[in-house]
Structure 1
Amino acid sequence: MPSSSTTHATIPPTVWLGRGRHAGPAAEDVLRLRLQQLKDEAVLHDFLEPPAEDTAGERVFEARWLVPEAVTVRARLSLAAGADGGRDWVLVAEAERPWDPRWPSPATMFWPETPDEAWDHEPVTGLRFGELNLLPEDDKDMRRLFKGAARASWAVHVVVHEAMTTDRQGRRPLTRLLPPSLRHRVVEHRAAPHQFRVVNWALRDLGVQMPRGGAVVLPGTPRASGSGDHDFSVRSVFLDGSEPVELIDMVTRFAVSPRPLPQGADDAVTALREQWHLLTLEEELDRERKLVTMYAEALEAMTKSRDLYREAAERANEALAAYRESAQDADTAARPVPAQAGSPLQQLTRTFERLKGARREPPRS
């Protein structure tokens, strides 16, 4: 079977990607208060809200902090108008080394960790991170939910099946047990015992199946190459309040595995890297040095181009002068050369003329 010629860039290992929706009012004020609070507590080194004219009209917030082992993280959050009057946010963070899921979640560096702040809605499905989300009873609604989650969501979606009706301990969200950096990137869907067949019918188009009493991660779009369905499913999840070690391992492996960038994520990563405003003094000096070097190289290129142009013009003028000289010489050579007055040719001509005149004279009587 021929392979597709289309290639997709993968998520850089140093990058954390997140997207959500703030459903409440005054999202900008919530962000400013949280950032200022963490700066005052020395959690953040600094933060900045660049002017709108410098961010193409977007509302953007930048922040910088350190994670364990003194690794610097830079993060950029942008806001846009969302559905139902909410605000959609895109958050990209990049560290100086490959991202460790045990590091603090970049989302909590911008948003407060309080349940009354409704910033943690996944924008495609409308469901919330960190909560147990029951699957709809309608078959078509369930199928539509899975398709949307797999094709358009940036989040990791995991479907967990309850083999039997669970108690209060079993109904606690499993995402709260994930490493900190994954808790705002994973959406947990919970299937009731009687939904087993319907769930697998709805998952059929995605090419994955949920084991009875187990769990499966939905593949994203575009799908990661080289990963089989069995790599990201577990056969048993015990919903008794204990830590589901196998499930946590599976979700973590999926989250850190090389996966294609979701649609729109490439622009977000580029904006973080190329439109960064929150510079340290050392970074500002380094940027100025690079600008000076760039201008010097441009000036050198212009000077070299000018010299080459001047040399080419001089050669062209020389070639034109040589052409005109050769044309003049050729024209002179083509003209008839007039006979000189005292030349032998003229004397011979005059002799013949005299002879002709003598023959025409009549004899004298």
Structure 2
Amino acid sequence: MPSDDRVQPVLAALEAPIRAFHSTLVATAEEVRGYLATRQSTWAARVARVRAELGPLAAGRVDAERFAELFDGHQEVDPIAIETMTRALDALTALAARSDRLCRVEVAPDASLHEAVGRALAEIGRAFGAARIVHEVRAGRYKPGSDDRPAEALPFARWTRAERRLGPPLVVRVPGSALRAAALAEFLDGRQRIVLVVEGECAPVPLVRLVTPGTFVLQTADAAGLDRLLRWDGPGIAALVPDGAARFVHDPAAGAHAWERVTLESVPDRVPRKAIGGLSATQQAEELELLQSLATRPAGAGPRAGEPAGGPGAAPGAGEPADKLAAWILSRVDLSDLG
């Protein structure tokens, strides 16, 4: 499918963080499996394990049973805790088995983008819930009847600061009619990355309302710029948008002021004439004005960081995206009756 042709390059660009999270799931599951195996072993099995660890040179010289009694620190734990650990292991194993499918989201035309992303992150949160309960059991702090339920989803709102930096990126395929990206703001924290693959017509700048000083924002035609998203040590969102939408990047590392951080690559040639994705033509035009205000260099401001004085950014030509967008806004007609 053509849409799959657009998703696969995104998955390839995000392969490293997706693979790292999957490896963490597998390693954690193996650690829990080993922990359970030792706690559930019989006394005979424990003695046999100690005898094997002592090796053949100890045979006839060291009493393996006495050694295990004195030095084998693996004590049996509460059966309820063992059952909880087993459920945690089941959750980790199931999540690991999904591989990169855990990071893929499909949004139907009549569905909510916010709810779909929230469900996907809550499912990923099961791994953090499982890890929490494992930590509590191993530390001897587990209390039966606590609220920790590793088999259940853990919403993003309940993730810790550390967990928000460990979650894998999401790749979300969404039709333009369901693209209400501003609702995703609550998920852009820590180092969470979201990449939207937009199908069909969409508003010109669906991501502009997500521009904040610490959030990387990218609207692009393909996956070529996603390496910059991954280099940013903070939250970020990108959208692969169709022809007719603006292309821009907001890079928090590019400067202290919005005009230094926002780079316009292309803007629409036509005025919005109809509502798209729940936004009226007037709202779409206002979002374009917002993008223009963010990208406009104040009078008397110096060059961007790393830009020579008198360089391309010092005096934009009439054909540059910022001027083109300004001219576009000035030429628009009264759209009050089109929304």
Shared fold per TM-score greater than 0.5:
no
TM-score for both structures, normalised by structure 1: 0.23
TM (norm. structure 2) is 0.25
> Which protein has the bigger helix share?
2
RCO comparison, higher one (Cα < 8 Å, 6+): 1
Name whichever structure is richer in strand by fraction: 1
Give the structure with higher Rg (CA).
Answer: 1
